[in-house]
Amino acid sequence: MPGGVESARAAAGAAAAGAHLVILSSSHYFHNYRHSSNALAVYHAAREAGVSDERIVLMLAGDHACDPRNAVSGGMRHTSGGRLELYPCDARVDYRGDEVNVAAFLRVLTDRLPPGAPASRRLLSDWQSDVVVYMTGHGGDGFFKFRDLEELGAAELAAALAQMQAQRRAARLLVLLDTCQAETMVQLFSAAGLSGAISVAASRRGESSLSRQVDPGLGVAVADRFTFQLHAFLTTGRAAPPLPAGYAAPPPTSAPRPPGSRTLGRLVDALSHARILSTVVVSQHGWGHRPGSAIPASGAGPSILGEWA
């Protein structure tokens, strides 16, 4: 591996026990604005948690911020008329447009990029790292679509993550999927031999993952319900208030909870069916614990979740 990549990996791994992320939005076309907004909301939450760009690979198939139909030119938001800017001038998009495809995504996960690929386009995790993979887009029973041109199968995703672990590039995995029938994309994780992995899927087989709110100025939905609640929880430790109040910042009477209180168990509580109108499916793969038992706390360093419990 080139020396420059090794140096970047060492720098990114200075707090290796913290989270490394791959954040993927696989949709283009302006009516899929919410998928870019979803991905950027997770990116925003990670940056707010102290995760540096060196430990994030951001993949956006759509350039919705610069689409001429975007009434907020160059900006992205996830509430109607919201004040929170999800696309700041220092946001670093590592893959965009037609660079976002099945082959590129799998190469990022397995670190099988072409020689000379810059460190910024690599997942610089190692054997101590907690790796978070977030995916948003259109999907179905056992497949996840890329730009309406190709599909990633459940077996391909499971094999790539298993290969990542075999390469000693992840201590633990947290896979978050916001797509229709998301449960079916994780159904082969255990069979592939994943260990120390947790998946949180936004919907069961046969269920849709639903959008939350249409912005009348944009004419499109600006967020999906699952990711909207995920972002609210990661940034405040609380679920977002219900519509029509919307969510742009914590209410004055609801101070953010300390990071240590943002556990996976409390996240699942925030993702209730009443809030997202689909059934979240949480699965443990190779933990060696009884289903529903406590999961070990994460290591030191910036992490999206204070504890995986």
Residue numbers annotated as active site: 138, 180
Q: Which residues contact residue 273 at a Cβ distance below 8 angstroms, ignoring those fewer than 6 apart?
A: 279, 280
How far from 74 is each of 53, 71, 100, 223, CA to CA, in Å? 20, 9, 20, 17
Q: 308: Cβ–Cβ under 8 A, 6 or more apart, which residues?
A: 130, 172, 174, 198, 263, 264, 295, 296, 297, 298
Helices 33-48, 225-236: inter-axial angle, 10-degree rounding:
10
What per-residue string of b and e applies to 24-34 under the rule 16 or more CB within 10 Å gives b?
A: bbbbbebebbb
182 three-class SS: helix
